[in-house]
């Protein structure tokens, strides 16, 4: 193949790249911003989709974020591609903040004070039952709703004008190029 690697990457190398990009976080972030701006949907649909992705990234259900984002975007009429790109807001740097915040907010919403239940996962997370994980997942799931809505609203306010300005500039450039070509 023309664009295939000479030596295939190992599974561990691909996993490392997903957790820590080859170049830098800023370059990866610029790439995501560039991809969102170039989507051909309306600015409203792109911003709604991106907001759906951000909302789903705040939930504690790892592995379901992209599916959840696409489903929410489809329901509210947002761009599904933008929703998938919005899930990248959740990454190894932001997940600890999301998890701590959602747990604390959910614990407060459940009426809990300083009497937090002692959670013991020393047996391993895969060996524990849902009964043992429920004291963690219940407040996190509940706390993810207000935090997710707040971050989704913030991302909508940021993304919509950015996409609108980019698409407007691109239309002007295309019309100018078409006028010069005549």
The upper half-sphere exposure of residue 60, i.e. CA atoms within 13 Å in the direction of its Cβ, equals 19
Token pair 């696409």 in the structure block, residue: 70
Tokens (6 digits) for 165: 């300005």
Interval 77-103 mean pLDDT = 89
pLDDT in tens, 38-77: 777 889 999 999 999 999 999 998 888 999 999 999 999 9
Closest CA to 87 of 27, 38, 140, 32: 32
Q: Residue 1: pLDDT above 60?
A: no
Query: How sure is the predictor about 9, in pLDDT bands with cuts at 50, 70 and 90?
Result: confident
pLDDT in tens, 166-181: 889 888 988 888 888 8
């Amino acid at each position: 193949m023309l664009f295939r690697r000479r030596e295939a990457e190992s599974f561990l190398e691909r996993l490392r790249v997903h957790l820590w990009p080859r170049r830098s976080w800023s370059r990866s972030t610029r790439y995501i911003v560039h991809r969102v701006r170039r989507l051909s949907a309306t600015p409203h649909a792109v911003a709604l989709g991106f907001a759906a992705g951000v909302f789903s990234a705040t939930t504690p259900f790892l592995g379901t974020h992209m599916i959840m984002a696409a489903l929410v975007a489809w329901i509210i009429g947002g761009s599904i591609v933008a929703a998938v790109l919005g899930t990248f807001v959740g990454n190894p740097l932001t997940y600890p903040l999301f998890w701590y915040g959602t747990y604390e907010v959910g614990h407060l919403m459940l009426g809990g004070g300083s009497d937090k239940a002692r959670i013991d996962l020393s047996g391993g997370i895969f060996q524990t039952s849902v009964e043992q994980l429920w004291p963690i997942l219940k407040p996190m799931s509940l706390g993810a709703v207000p935090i997710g809505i707040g971050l989704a609203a913030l991302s909508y306010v940021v993304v919509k004008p950015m996409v609108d300005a980019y698409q407007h500039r691109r239309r002007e450039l295309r019309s100018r190029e078409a006028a010069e070509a005549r």
